Amino acid sequence: MDLGWSGSEQSFRREARAWLRANVPERPLPSGDTRAGFAAHLEWERRLHRARWSVVSWPEEFGGRGATLWEWLIFEEEYYRAGAPQRVTQNGIFLLAPTVFEFGTPEQRQRILPRMAAAQDLWCQGWSEPGAGSDLAAISSRAVRDAASGGWRLSGQKTWTTRGAFCTHLFGLFRSDPEARRHHGLSYFLVPLDAPGVTVRGFARLDGDEGFAEVFLDDVFVPDRDVLGGVNQGWSVAMATTGSERGLTLRSPGRFLSAADRLLDTARQVRAAHPRRAAAHRDRALRAWIDAQAYQLFTLEQVTAITEGRPVGAESSLNKLFWSELDIRLHETALDLIGDEAETEGPWTKGFLFSLAGPIYAGTNEIQRTIVAERLLGLPRK
């Protein structure tokens, strides 16, 4: 693994840095998990697209720059360093899109990806159900074949759908063969949320933002062209999506490197007024900063593996465990440094509340530890 950057990669970094410096809003946008904030973020997403920065690693025909994975990592580092707005299109761009590239037909790629890159179609995830959280094989939402109409009838309920109240489309698993075993008989569907029979009901999260939704489907018709990856092949398609969610594409190290640098800045500021408190938490702050560097090195090793054609597989579970627990350590340390003067509405408090969800979403950490034990360490199943 070469840790140096080539001349062209350094040039790419300079171009990205210059554009971000000239375009990132001076004031932070309101939370993208509120309706008003989501609308403001969409304007930002469309500005990114007009400058071809919304999907830098995609081929140019779909709105990207054809950048390499290394250049994508560089862009992510610069993006977070610049304090640019959160990406409210991330479920589509970072989760669904890699799956469409791998399993989609040419027609699906042409129809779905350019509109996703331009933030015209906004995608949310339809995994969790009231009776099936991280256990995807337990889902009960069903798909019944409607041969006369050339499609499927979907019924059931999805919940914990991030930004579902603001999005236009949903991707998710439905049971298309009720007689098959748990992991079989599932199909992966793409569903417009304005279709007859769809009801979307938003609800608030722990931090008060309204970004979650429940989605009810009552005999919703979806044509055959909106099955992704083949009928009853949904499990393997979904595993590709969850691998993206737990691993590289959703959690680039840029986010944690930026947070670690901000943590050290906070420690320096606290040291000026409260030297004893700063000293008490010095080692924790340094440990968190070092862990962020370690995560970056682990990611670089994974990118090396991918570019050499080696599969990442279950190692994405290691990623998920590491970044979700690192995120909590970073924010807990910052709040302890600030002490009784901790802001109640500031970015560290807001970030801490969100970090608590990390061990739950993208598959709970208990599930990830089971995967690591069985698939990476070769330990026997219970």
Catalytic positions: 245
User: 3-state secondary structure string, 175-235?
Assistant: ECCCCCCCCCCEEEEEEECCCCCEEEEEECCCCCCCCEEEEEEEEEEEEHHHECCCCCCHH
CA 317/CA 227 separation, integer angstroms: 27
SS3 of residue 154 by DSSP = strand
Query: Is the separation of the CB atoms in 348 and 266 below 8 Å?
Result: yes
Question: How far apart are the C-alpha atoms of 90 and 48, rounded to whole Å?
Answer: 13
Which of 237, 304, 302 shows the shortest CA–CA distance to 98?
237
Specify which residues 154 forms β-bridges with: 143, 220
- Could you give the CA distance from residue 5 to residue 15 in angstroms, rounded to a whole number? 15
- E-strand ranges in the chain read 123-126, 142-146, 151-158, 169-175, 186-192, 198-203, 212-223
One-letter amino acid for residue 29 of the chain = L
